[in-house]
């Protein structure tokens, strides 16, 4: 089991993180403290995009959690395979030498 998908999952995770950060920077209303500018004349041109940006952030965060869970499971499986491989190798070595 080589888990060749690990590299692309790492890239996806990084891109999701960048997407979340850029959307939150562009739409400051998505930040926990809300709008950073208190200027009464502040009217973002992108106000209509806010609901879609919010949905994208929520989905990206969820996908990022799923990618993390997947990677954790793959790492566990690879560790099991490695442990079992070493144990099998030792067992095979033992059969070469009579007790």
- Per residue in 17-57, pLDDT (tens digit) is 999 999 998 888 787 766 555 555 555 566 778 889 999 99
Closest CA relative to residue 79, chosen from 71, 90, 68 = 71
Which pLDDT score, from 0 to 100, does residue 21 have? 94
Please tell me the predicted confidence (pLDDT) of residue 2: 66
- Whether the model pTM is above 0.75: no
Give the contacts of 80 (CB within 8 A, at least 6 positions apart): none
Confirm if 3 and 74 have CB atoms less than 8 A apart.
yes
């Amino acid at each position: 089991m080589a888990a060749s998908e690990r590299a692309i999952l790492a890239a996806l995770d990084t891109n999701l993180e960048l997407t979340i950060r850029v959307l939150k920077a562009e739409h400051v209303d998505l930040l926990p403290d809300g709008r950073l500018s208190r200027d009464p004349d502040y009217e973002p041109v992108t106000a209509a995009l806010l609901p879609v940006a919010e949905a994208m952030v929520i989905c990206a965060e969820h996908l990022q959690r799923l990618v993390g869970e997947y990677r954790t499971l793959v790492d566990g499986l690879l560790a099991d395979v490695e442990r079992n491989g070493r144990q099998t190798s030792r067992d095979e070595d033992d059969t070469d030498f009579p007790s």
